[in-house]
Structure 1
Amino acid sequence: MSAQLAIPATTYLLKTIIEDRLAAAYQGLPTPPVLVAPPPRPAQSAPGNGQPQQAAESPSLTLFMHHAGPNGAWRNMHEPVVNSAGQRIRRDPLVLDLQYLLAAHGADLEREALLGIAMSALHRNAIIPRPMITQMLGRIAAPNPPEKLLDRLPSAQLADPDHQPETITVSQLPVDIDTSTKLWSAFQSPIRPCALYQVTTVFLEIEEAYPPPLAVETVRISGRPEPSGSDSPFPPDVILARAAQDEA
């Protein structure tokens, strides 16, 4: 079974959770947007005194999924399944932990307020229940029939236990200044108030069924004499049945 839209559906859930909390906090005031793109580079305004000046940032939040790694528990849970010829007959499930950067932009103290509101929203919804996932994905307005891939996002099977056996949880990651500096250097963007989060567990591929065994095509029943009863390696009254292909 495959859940190809599990990653964007997870990002949409986190984005919607933060947006709902922002709308409640701003109470009718213009609400800053939540962007799922990488942190923007500083914009340059018209030069003054011969030097370009950095333009003032409008308030916003960045929620960027920057890393997807295997879930260690599920990876160690499944041993390779092979047949008698040593060939693998079952794939391991593809189970991921997603890491997100949450960063706030804006002037003065508003960006710090934005970061606090967003962190509070994720903390309150550290365990995302399945009915909440269904309700949020149902809020997506998509044309029918779909015109592009993401138009199928409302039908993402993120709340289906058959495709997502575990509940999705959100936890904050401890990050030192060295890791944070390297991350912002990779973005080529000035460091901003931020926090890192890990979302687990997201299933992309899960295969629970083993391939069916070969059916017995021919049954041959044979008997052999046992004069003494002591020299035969078989117990008395043994009937052997085996598939015809085993004799090739």
Structure 2
Amino acid sequence: MTAHFAIPATTVVLRAIIQRRLDAAYGTLAAPTVSVEPPPRPAPPPNGGGGQPAEPAGVHLFLHHAAPNPAWRNMYEPHLDSAGRVAGRSPLALDLHYMLAVTGADLEREVLLGLGIVALTRHGVVPRPLILAVLSGITVPANPTSLMDKLPTEPLHDPAQQPQQITLAQAPVDVDLSTKIWSALQSPMRPAAFFLATTVFLDVGDTYPAATPVDEPRVGIRPDPGRDTAMPPDVITVAEALP
């Protein structure tokens, strides 16, 4: 079973978790929209000169890296048939590394960063009913025109497709790695936090073919050359008689 939309479906669910937190915090005010794009580059100065325009408030949940989960990768060995051919492979499970970056003027950026961190931290284990509710709430067009129109059909909540629940944890990214990521994005450094989503299954393994039926049973006896024929030493236990 292959989960084609497991990665984007995970991103959509995490974005919805943050957006709900922002909407609750802003109340009657207009909350910023959570974007899955990388943090933007600075806007060019106006033609007439003057200072840099104020940056609008925004939250960016950007998937910057995906790595194989070492535990699931080493849990299974490839299944081989009698001829030594690979008949079944181990599940393909990934850990997703996200950057949570915020933009805005003055201290509103720090408010947004705190709300985003709280939203993801409070969902250390993403419930399967929440995943189903988020994906089911996406409107599916009657005539899909793009591949992403089929995203709501991803069974990310199904244990048969995702044997392990998705967990979230803040990643301990140091200043050196953070600086490298910002440099690669060619964007000025802003308040940010990094999160690890584990584990997302893209392929839960192949179905093993049925074994070849036995045509002629053969039963035989042969000596075991590796057997230890030495007799164990006799052990005599002497116990003191009680008076």
TM-score tier, shorter chain, comes to 0.7 to 0.9
Partner of 1:40: 40
Is 1:44–1:53's contact at 8 Å kept on the other side of the alignment?
A: no
Q: Which residue does the alignment assign to 1:124?
A: 122
Mapped to 1, the partners of 2:206 and 2:82 lie a distance apart of 20
Question: In the TM superposition, what whole-angstrom CA distance separates every residue of 1:170-195 from its partner, at most 9, and x where no partner exists?
Answer: 10001111111111000000000000
The letter for the 2-side match of 1:157 is P
Q: CA deviation at 1:234?
A: 4.5
Which residue pairs with 1:13 in the alignment?
A: 13
Query: What is the SS of the residue equivalent to 1:77?
Result: coil
Query: Corresponding residue for 2:79?
Result: 81
Does structure 1 residue 205 correspond to structure 2 residue 180? Answer: no
| d(CA) in 1 for partners of 2:92, 2:216 | 41
**Deviation digits for residues 157-214 of structure 1, max 9, x if unmatched?**
1000000000111100011111111110000000000000000010000126311122
| Contact map agreement 1:47 1:53 (CA 8 A) in 2 | no
Aligned equivalent of 1:190 = 188
CA RMSD of aligned residues (A): 1.9
Q: Partner residue of 1:103?
A: 101
Cα offsets for 1:141-171 (capped at 9, x unmatched):
1212422211111111100000000011110
After TM superposition, list the pairs within 5 Å mapping 1:141-220 onto structure 2: 141-207=139-205, 209-216=207-214
* Distance in 1 of aligned mates of 2:151 and 2:177: 33
State the alpha-carbon separation in 2 of the partners of residues 6 and 185 from structure 1.
28
Give the counterpart letter for 1:153 in structure 2. Answer: L
Would the alpha carbon gap of residues 193 and 220 (structure 1) be closer, same or farther in structure 2, given more than 3 Å must change? closer
Deviation larger for 53-62 or 198-207: 53-62
- Cα deviation digits, residues 110-149 of structure 1 (max 9, x gap): 0100000111111111111111111111110121242221
3-state SS of paired residue (1:128): coil
Q: Structure 1 runs of 4+ off > 4 angstroms?
A: 218-221
Task: Please identify, of 199-208 and 21-30, the stretch whose mean Cα deviation from structure 2 is larger.
Answer: 199-208
Gaps of 5+ in 2: 222-243
Q: For the Cα contact (< 8 Å) 2:95–2:197, is it kept in 1?
A: yes
After TM superposition, the structure 1 stretch with the greater mean CA deviation from structure 2, 3-12 or 84-93, is 84-93
Q: Judge conservation of contact 1:62–1:103 (CA < 8 Å) in 2.
A: yes
Contact 1:59–1:105, Cα closer than 8 Å, also in 2: yes
1:108 and 1:234, CA in 2 relative to 1: closer, same or farther beyond 3 A? closer
List alignment gaps of at least 5 residues for structure 1: 222-232, 236-248
* 8 Å Cα contact 2:90/2:204 also seen in 1: yes
SS of the equivalent of 2:12 reads helix
Q: TM-score, normalised by structure 2?
A: 0.86
What is the identity percentage for the equivalent residue pairs of Structure 1 and Structure 2?
51
Question: How many residues in Structure 1 have an aligned counterpart in Structure 2?
Answer: 221
Pair 1:213–1:234, CA change in 2 (3 A): closer
Do the aligned partners of 2:77 and 2:89 also contact (CA within 8 Å) in 1?
A: no
Q: State the partner residue of 1:29.
A: 29
Structure 1 SS opposite 2:74: helix
